[in-house]
């Protein structure tokens, strides 16, 4: 009931993206002849389209990291004036072409794409195979199925398993045989919803036990992506040391970072959201999460070696240069002091 209500409320808002995703999925299904491969490559295309935004965000993050000393200085300068701190930080970001808002918005992209994919996997006959909503309603009335316009999966299952139902629907000219998808992939029925309920699993273990691999892979790839993100952040080791120092001395606290706060929230929110949707929607949606997570992992590795690692090496090099320059300056000062002392004697 709740899913149907959400569907009705959101369908109109997300229609353009849903139609686009469905059209691409149709092309992929026609090309591969496999619903599973269509979902996988659709996910690759969607996540690939966001790659430039993620790279841009990574560059902004490194710019912000490079300004960490100046940010800390602002906080030390205005310790009791949060408003002044925020004004000076925004001024600093603006002067250096950094938008903290982009870092906050980027984690929302998976949510924005979530709803169109929701409709695509729940209504593949309508959005992927092009069966009109009016025809779906008539087929539902003909075969005694309710809510088929908001959830096509029961209709797909009935038409696939009941030859008589297929003959009736095709005979009325409401659907073509080739418009009924084959939702089997790697031995899994992607039209079925994984279940954690023991009674459901024991009722048909041959079907529902293999489906559990989908939520398991969703969870594992999510954890892997989260851990990799943490390990490959610019100057991750340095930030850990700064946190330790901040506990001992509050003056060392770094300014609040809106992007970091948002990322932290989504670190805990996304796994819960992924598991909930995996156990609430057809297994095809779980494939969307799994492939998306794998794409995310590859993207993290790519941006690390392309941008983060060179940035860290350059930062270390500059620090070493400053350290050597300071030593040299101190040495010269000491020598000058020693020389002037000798002259006085």
pLDDT at 158: 92
Q: Which of 34, 26, 38 is nearest to 184 (CA)?
A: 34
Q: Between 19 and 8, where is the model more confident?
A: 19
What does the pLDDT read at residue 329? 72
How far is CA 147 from each of CA 171, 253, 277, rounded to the nearest angstrom?
22, 55, 20
Angle between helices 153-161 and 133-143 (to 10 degrees): 60
CA pair distance 234, 308, nearest whole angstrom: 6
162 contacts: CB under 8 Å, gap ≥ 6: none
- Cα gap 87→95, rounded to integer Å: 12
Between the two ends of the chain, the Cα-to-Cα distance in Å is: 96
* Per-residue pLDDT at 185 exceeds 80: yes
Helical spans, DSSP H, in 180-257: 198-203, 205-211, 213-231, 236-248
Position 216 scores a pLDDT of 93
Kindly state the average pLDDT of the residues 51-67: 71
Out of 151-155, 183-187, 239-243, least confident range: 239-243
pTM: 0.75
Lowest-confidence pick of 8-22, 235-249, 275-289: 235-249
Query: Higher confidence at residue 223 or residue 269?
Result: 223
Cβ distance 284 to 190 under 8 Å?
A: yes
pLDDT digits (tens, 9 = 90+) for 297-324: 998 888 888 877 777 777 677 677 777 7
Angle, alpha carbons 41-36-202 (nearest 5°) = 145
CB 21 within 8 A of CB 120: yes
Each residue's pLDDT tens digit, 110-159:
677 888 888 899 999 999 999 999 999 999 999 999 889 889 999 999 99
Residue 11 — very low, low, confident or very high, per pLDDT cuts 50/70/90? low
d(CA 94, CA 96): 5
Which pairs with CB-CB distance under 8 Å and at least 24 residues apart come from 32-35?
34/182, 34/185, 35/124, 35/181, 35/182, 35/183, 35/184, 35/185, 35/190, 35/284
Which has the higher per-residue pLDDT, 12 or 162?
Answer: 162
Cβ proximity of 282 and 188 under 8 Å: no
Return the structure tokens found at 153. 């999966």
Half-sphere exposure of 306 (CA within 13 A, CB side): 11
Nearest CA among 229, 223, 242 for reference residue 57: 229
Q: CA 179 to CA 171: how far, in whole Å?
A: 14
The pLDDT of residue 3 is 47
| 19-28, 201-210, 279-288, 323-332: least confidently modelled range | 323-332
Separation of alpha carbons 115 and 11, rounded Å: 8
Among 178-187, 212-221, 332-341, name the one with the lowest average pLDDT: 332-341
> Is residue 1 pLDDT above 50, yes or no?
no
Q: What is the pLDDT of residue 49?
A: 84
Compare 91 and 18 and report the one with higher pLDDT.
18
pLDDT band at 270 (very low <50, low <70, confident <90, very high): confident
Backbone angles phi, psi at 274, to 5 degrees: -65, -45
Structure tokens at 126: 């309508």
Q: What pLDDT score does 90 carry?
A: 75
Which pLDDT value is given to residue 30?
A: 93
Q: Please, which pLDDT band fits residue 98 given cuts at 50, 70 and 90?
A: low
Residue 51: predicted pLDDT: 78
Average pLDDT, the chain: 79
CB atoms closer than 10 angstroms to residue 210: 15
- The residue whose two tokens read 């998808």 is 181
Determine what percent of the chain is predicted with pLDDT higher than 70. 71
pLDDT score at 234: 66
């Amino acid at each position: 009931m709740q899913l149907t209500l959400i569907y009705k409320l959101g369908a109109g808002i997300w229609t353009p993206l849903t139609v686009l995703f469905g059209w691409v999925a149709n092309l992929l299904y026609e090309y591969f002849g496999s619903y599973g491969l269509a979902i996988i490559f659709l996910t690759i295309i969607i996540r690939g389209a966001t790659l430039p935004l993620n790279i841009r965000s990574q560059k902004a993050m490194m710019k912000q990291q490079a300004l960490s000393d100046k940010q800390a200085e602002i906080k030390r300068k205005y310790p009791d004036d949060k408003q002044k701190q925020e004004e000076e930080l925004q001024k600093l970001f603006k002067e250096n072409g950094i938008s903290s808002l982009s870092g906050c918005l980027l984690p929302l992209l998976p949510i924005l794409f979530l709803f169109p994919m929701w409709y695509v996997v729940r209504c593949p006959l309508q959005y992927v195979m092009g069966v009109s909503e009016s025809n779906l309603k008539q087929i539902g009335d003909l075969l005694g199925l309710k809510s088929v316009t908001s959830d096509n999966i029961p209709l797909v299952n009935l038409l696939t398993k009941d030859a008589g139902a297929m003959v009736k629907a095709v005979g009325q000219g409401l659907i073509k045989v080739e418009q009924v998808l084959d939702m089997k992939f790697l031995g899994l029925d992607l039209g079925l919803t994984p279940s954690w309920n023991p009674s459901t699993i024991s009722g048909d273990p041959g079907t529902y036990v293999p489906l559990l691999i989908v939520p398991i892979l969703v969870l594992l790839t999510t954890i892997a992506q989260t851990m990799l993100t943490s390990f490959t952040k610019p100057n991750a080791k340095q930030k850990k040391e700064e946190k330790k120092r901040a506990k001992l001395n509050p003056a060392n606290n770094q300014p609040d970072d809106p992007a970091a706060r948002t990322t932290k929230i989504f670190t805990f929110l996304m796994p819960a959201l992924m598991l909930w949707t995996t156990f609430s929607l057809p297994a095809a949606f779980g494939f969307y999460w799994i492939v998306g997570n794998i794409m995310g992992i590859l993207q993290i590795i790519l941006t690390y070696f392309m941008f983060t690692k060179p940035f860290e090496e350059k930062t270390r090099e500059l620090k070493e240069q400053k350290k050597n320059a300071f030593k040299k300056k101190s040495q010269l000062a000491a020598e000058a002091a020693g020389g002037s002392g000798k002259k006085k004697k």
